Structure 1
Amino acid sequence: MTDRVDVPAVTRRAAQDAGGVSSEYLAGYIEMLDAVSVTGRRLARDELESRRALGASAAEQGIPLRSLVDLYLSANWLVWRELPAVASASDKREIARIAEAILRAADDAVVALADGYDEAQRSTLRQQEAERREFIDDLFYGRSDLGRLAERAERFGFRLAGTYVVTAAKADEPFTDGDAVTRRIESLLLRQFDTREVLVTTKQGLLVCIAPGSLAGVPAEFARHLDVVLGVRQTWQVAVGRPHPGPGGILRSYEETRGALELAASLGLDTRVLKATDLLVFQVLFRDRAAIIDLVGTVLGPLDQVRGGAQPLLATLAAYFAERDNATAAARRLYLSVRALTYRLDRIKQLTGQDPRDPAQRFTLEAAILGARLLNWPERPLQV
């Protein structure tokens, strides 16, 4: 049927017109158009399946879908005048019928190509995401030797060497791989920094950024982009770990960020950007649970005996310390008069024997207040 169509010449010219895409991806297509021009039929199922297979093959070879579509559109206009049915058409009505059949076939073929292409890409992405997640898990938990980790890191465009800092963000809604916020933050960061040095991922609901210690500006930019993307829609907090060398250092820095976020939640710290180095004193202070329970019970325990319980007096101390011993500001924060706040401070001194206005005794009270927050006292009883 195609004895008057020079198929090799048409496919070769179409490939050239499409920028050099291999003419192999047109295999059988010219013959389909010839048959359609004569019969006016739709493309058969096996013909569409062959296009899907070619689309998948093109995706696996990294050929852009745009180039593939260009190849088919070029073939359409190049073969049109050479089709025997067109050459022998008797009138405009016949030409219109053939054109309609050809355009419909071209449409079906391109849709099938795109279906195969998209499915192959989705399959590849799923495989890459699974491999990337396995790499992240091994990176954080050390389930692979250093050499293999470095080799796998290279495949994901990440250079695994030197000292690293982990920055982690927590928000009202947990972060997940591929969600809109995660993709947006990653895109913004990778516009500024080398993709071989900065890695953005999620772990345990946190948005995590791994970067060399030498790139000191990454944590600040990470927080800035979060502020832009989340705005006032969600409350969020960022913790920055300390720099540590090698893959083991990444895990250590990550654990520091998690610990900082958990500690901040326990202490009621609402600072947007937390630094693990700034919280070391609290971690040391509360490492001995028995000692902090004894401190809270001894220093603050008497406050729980007053009418109304300890909570109002604990809130008074917390506000007073937060306002750096400014009674007027603390009273404003608590919606009290300065006189009422002063009365409460005097009552605390009377009950505990510790004067919050005395610098020598303030630290004991402040440490006890922080301990009470960590232990959720007085809501929970003190237990070792």
Structure 2
Amino acid sequence: MTSIRVRLLKTLIVPILLINLTGGALAYMLAWLPTRIVFETGQSEPPAQGQGQGPAGATRAAPTAPIVVDNTPHQIRQAVVRGLVLLEVLIALACIGLIWFSVSNGLRPLNRLRAGLNARDGDDLAPIALTDVPYELEPVVSALNGLLDKAGEGAKARQDFLANVAHQLRTPLAGLKTQLEWLGERHAEPDTAHSVKLMLSATERMIRQTNQLLALARAEPNHFERTRLEPVALNLLVEDAIQSFVEQATRKGIDIGFDLRPVEITGDRFLLRDLIDNLIDNAIRYTPAGGTVTVGCRADNAGGGWLTVEDSGPGIPAAKREQVFSRYVRLDDKSHGSGLGLAIVRDIAVVHGAGLDIGDAPGGQGALFTVRFPNAGVKSNITT
């Protein structure tokens, strides 16, 4: 993968270094040549008139003096070279630092754009804001926004299709379940009863999957414009939801209990019921026979509310607690399900502005799911 930073540095640093070296050579020539000419001219001057002449104009040979080699020009030349080399190195380092800083500062908008995209969730298809986007990046951001719009339209079409299919399937599946129950009550033969039991179990799983698809479609932001926020007594909603799971828990030998205290929050009643149902259903499915499931709710001092679902199952390792809220993720292959339950819980909690945590059960065995709803006056992410 080619780096823009590296390409810019290559195209800037190499020419600047060449220009710098050329300038250094020219500076050396301009500094040394005049100095050398001066020294050569001074050393080649003829002796003064009358030097070496005797009385009456007779010429005498000058006394021979020892030859002294003058190293001053060579020393000056070395000093000039050393000074120029040091200066060139300092200028080159300053140029490289300035170029690196300039390139990094120029690429900062790209880094911000990359960080913003990496920080998004997989289902966040909101357009990228064009504020503070450099002129050169506007065509790229506009193209990305167009792609996000197309992806959003496709996602909305899929969710609408799921909602329509799930809604159409609910009525015939409920009728099929009723007929199977009627058939099981009137035919006690072992073979017939066993077949009816298997068909009834499969029908219940289909109904559950259908309800989850419908809840998933309702939890999408595109559908919140058709919802109506209202004050909801969370304790009464939880109490009503628990009743539908008593038979399922009894068949598995699970002791299901509750600790419900009066608390009122603001939200969508149908979505909150989907959240509660999925949390309780998840706890029952992963709790072994003879275990316990406890559901509780209470108000907090800030005016919000807490919903807790505790089970005595195997628990969820800390490394997988964030992963389980993704769609189609299951902790093991032994439990039936599509892996949508906790994803639905996360989506509903997010649009209500609620916090969602997974911890260890107080006894050290099992999982504890906690949903923290904000104050009733705090605006949620649902559009009314």
- TM-score after normalising by structure 1: 0.30
Look at both structures and tell me which one has the larger radius of gyration over its CA atoms.
2
- TM-score after normalising by structure 2: 0.30
Q: Which has the higher helix share?
A: 1
